[in-house]
Amino acid sequence: MKILFSNKGFTLIELMIVIVMMSILLMIAIPSYQHFIRKSWASKAEQAVMDIALQLDRHKARNFNYQGFNYTENEIIQVAKQKYDLSIVDGDDVSKKLTDQGVIGRNWVIKASTDDVRNYKFLMTSTGIKCKNLDATELSFSNCGAGSESW
Protein backbone atom coordinates (compact mmCIF):
# COMPACT_ATOMS: atom_id res chain seq x y z
CA MET A 1 0.00 0.00 0.00
CA LYS A 2 1.50 3.24 -1.14
CA ILE A 3 0.57 6.50 0.62
CA LEU A 4 0.71 9.61 -1.52
CA PHE A 5 1.14 12.97 0.11
CA SER A 6 0.14 15.95 -1.86
CA ASN A 7 1.77 19.18 -0.75
CA LYS A 8 -0.61 22.05 -1.20
CA GLY A 9 -0.13 25.47 0.34
CA PHE A 10 2.78 27.50 1.60
CA THR A 11 5.41 26.85 4.18
CA LEU A 12 5.83 29.21 7.09
CA ILE A 13 9.12 30.50 5.68
CA GLU A 14 7.56 31.33 2.31
CA LEU A 15 4.73 33.15 4.05
CA MET A 16 7.14 35.16 6.22
CA ILE A 17 9.20 36.17 3.18
CA VAL A 18 6.09 37.45 1.40
CA ILE A 19 4.98 39.39 4.50
CA VAL A 20 8.41 41.01 4.85
CA MET A 21 8.46 41.97 1.16
CA MET A 22 4.95 43.45 1.36
CA SER A 23 5.79 45.45 4.49
CA ILE A 24 8.89 46.90 2.81
CA LEU A 25 6.83 47.92 -0.21
CA LEU A 26 4.19 49.52 2.02
CA MET A 27 6.83 51.40 4.02
CA ILE A 28 7.94 53.01 0.76
CA ALA A 29 4.55 53.45 -0.91
CA ILE A 30 2.45 54.97 1.89
CA PRO A 31 4.67 58.01 2.66
CA SER A 32 5.06 58.63 -1.06
CA TYR A 33 1.28 58.49 -1.50
CA GLN A 34 0.75 60.88 1.42
CA HIS A 35 3.30 63.28 -0.07
CA PHE A 36 1.42 63.38 -3.37
CA ILE A 37 -1.92 63.90 -1.60
CA ARG A 38 -0.49 66.88 0.33
CA LYS A 39 1.00 68.24 -2.89
CA SER A 40 -2.40 67.91 -4.57
CA TRP A 41 -4.16 69.87 -1.79
CA ALA A 42 -1.47 72.57 -1.90
CA SER A 43 -1.92 72.87 -5.66
CA LYS A 44 -5.69 73.25 -5.23
CA ALA A 45 -5.19 75.98 -2.62
CA GLU A 46 -2.72 77.79 -4.88
CA GLN A 47 -5.24 77.63 -7.71
CA ALA A 48 -7.99 79.01 -5.44
CA VAL A 49 -5.78 81.92 -4.34
CA MET A 50 -5.04 82.75 -7.99
CA ASP A 51 -8.75 82.55 -8.83
CA ILE A 52 -9.65 84.95 -6.00
CA ALA A 53 -6.89 87.33 -7.16
CA LEU A 54 -8.42 87.29 -10.64
CA GLN A 55 -11.85 88.08 -9.16
CA LEU A 56 -10.29 90.94 -7.17
CA ASP A 57 -8.79 92.42 -10.35
CA ARG A 58 -12.17 92.24 -12.08
CA HIS A 59 -13.81 93.92 -9.07
CA LYS A 60 -11.29 96.78 -9.13
CA ALA A 61 -11.75 97.24 -12.89
CA ARG A 62 -15.49 97.79 -12.30
CA ASN A 63 -15.36 99.74 -9.01
CA PHE A 64 -11.89 101.41 -9.06
CA ASN A 65 -11.06 99.90 -5.63
CA TYR A 66 -11.44 96.68 -3.67
CA GLN A 67 -14.09 97.93 -1.21
CA GLY A 68 -17.00 95.56 -0.78
CA PHE A 69 -15.34 92.64 -2.55
CA ASN A 70 -16.92 89.29 -1.79
CA TYR A 71 -15.60 86.40 -3.84
CA THR A 72 -17.79 84.14 -5.93
CA GLU A 73 -17.43 80.61 -4.65
CA ASN A 74 -16.83 78.31 -7.58
CA GLU A 75 -15.76 74.65 -7.74
CA ILE A 76 -12.06 75.51 -7.43
CA ILE A 77 -12.58 77.47 -4.21
CA GLN A 78 -15.02 74.93 -2.75
CA VAL A 79 -12.49 72.12 -3.17
CA ALA A 80 -9.66 74.17 -1.62
CA LYS A 81 -11.84 75.16 1.36
CA GLN A 82 -12.12 71.48 2.36
CA LYS A 83 -8.54 71.58 3.71
CA TYR A 84 -7.56 75.27 3.66
CA ASP A 85 -8.86 78.38 5.40
CA LEU A 86 -8.94 81.27 2.91
CA SER A 87 -8.64 84.79 4.38
CA ILE A 88 -9.02 87.94 2.29
CA VAL A 89 -8.25 91.20 4.07
CA ASP A 90 -7.46 94.83 3.33
CA GLY A 91 -3.78 95.33 2.54
CA ASP A 92 -3.58 98.62 4.46
CA ASP A 93 -5.38 97.38 7.60
CA VAL A 94 -5.16 93.58 7.88
CA SER A 95 -7.59 93.54 10.80
CA LYS A 96 -10.42 94.40 8.38
CA LYS A 97 -12.00 92.39 5.61
CA LEU A 98 -12.72 94.11 2.31
CA THR A 99 -16.45 93.97 3.11
CA ASP A 100 -16.07 95.84 6.44
CA GLN A 101 -17.14 99.47 6.89
CA GLY A 102 -14.39 102.07 6.69
CA VAL A 103 -12.00 99.87 4.74
CA ILE A 104 -9.70 101.79 2.37
CA GLY A 105 -9.69 99.14 -0.35
CA ARG A 106 -6.50 100.14 -2.17
CA ASN A 107 -4.71 96.82 -1.56
CA TRP A 108 -5.57 93.25 -0.65
CA VAL A 109 -3.97 90.24 1.00
CA ILE A 110 -5.01 86.61 0.54
CA LYS A 111 -3.79 84.01 3.01
CA ALA A 112 -4.49 80.28 2.68
CA SER A 113 -3.61 78.27 5.77
CA THR A 114 -4.12 74.66 6.78
CA ASP A 115 -3.92 72.60 9.97
CA ASP A 116 -1.60 70.09 8.27
CA VAL A 117 1.87 70.95 9.60
CA ARG A 118 3.53 69.16 6.68
CA ASN A 119 1.76 71.19 3.99
CA TYR A 120 2.34 74.69 2.64
CA LYS A 121 0.57 77.85 3.76
CA PHE A 122 0.18 80.50 1.03
CA LEU A 123 0.29 84.30 0.94
CA MET A 124 -0.45 86.60 -2.00
CA THR A 125 -0.79 90.39 -1.98
CA SER A 126 -1.75 93.05 -4.48
CA THR A 127 1.74 94.53 -4.07
CA GLY A 128 3.30 91.46 -5.69
CA ILE A 129 4.19 89.14 -2.81
CA LYS A 130 3.56 85.49 -3.68
CA CYS A 131 5.12 83.08 -1.22
CA LYS A 132 4.53 79.85 0.65
CA ASN A 133 5.90 78.43 3.88
CA LEU A 134 5.64 75.14 5.76
CA ASP A 135 5.88 76.91 9.13
CA ALA A 136 2.56 78.57 10.01
CA THR A 137 4.15 80.67 12.77
CA GLU A 138 6.35 82.44 10.21
CA LEU A 139 3.44 83.33 7.91
CA SER A 140 1.77 86.69 8.52
CA PHE A 141 -0.33 89.00 6.38
CA SER A 142 2.76 91.03 5.43
CA ASN A 143 5.38 88.36 4.63
CA CYS A 144 6.12 84.64 4.68
CA GLY A 145 9.09 84.83 7.04
CA ALA A 146 12.16 82.64 7.20
CA GLY A 147 12.18 79.47 5.14
CA SER A 148 9.62 80.71 2.63
CA GLU A 149 9.57 79.94 -1.07
CA SER A 150 8.20 81.91 -3.99
CA TRP A 151 5.52 80.32 -6.17
Burial of 119 (0-12, 13-18, 19+ CB in 10 A): buried
Instruction: Examine residue 51 and state whether it is found in any structural domain, yes or no.
Output: yes
How confident is residue 136, by pLDDT bands cut at 50, 70 and 90?
Answer: confident
How confident is residue 83, by pLDDT bands cut at 50, 70 and 90?
Answer: very high
Query: What pLDDT does residue 8 have?
Result: 77
* pTM of the complete model: 0.81
DSSP secondary structure string for all residues of 58-115 = HHHHHHSS-TT------HHHHHHTTTEEEEEEESS-TTSBTTSTT---S-EEEEEEES
Mean pLDDT calculated for residue range 129-141:
91
Instruction: Examine residue 132 and state whether it is found in any structural domain, yes or no.
Output: yes
Q: How many domains does the chain have?
A: 1
How many C-beta neighbours within 10 Å does residue 38 have? 16
Instruction: Examine residue 4 and state whether it is found in any structural domain, yes or no.
Output: no
**Domain span at 41:** 12-150
Instruction: Examine residue 6 and state whether it is found in any structural domain, yes or no.
Output: no
Mean pLDDT calculated for residue range 84-108:
94
Instruction: Examine residue 5 and state whether it is found in any structural domain, yes or no.
Output: no
Instruction: Examine residue 62 and state whether it is found in any structural domain, yes or no.
Output: yes
Query: What pLDDT does residue 10 have?
Result: 82
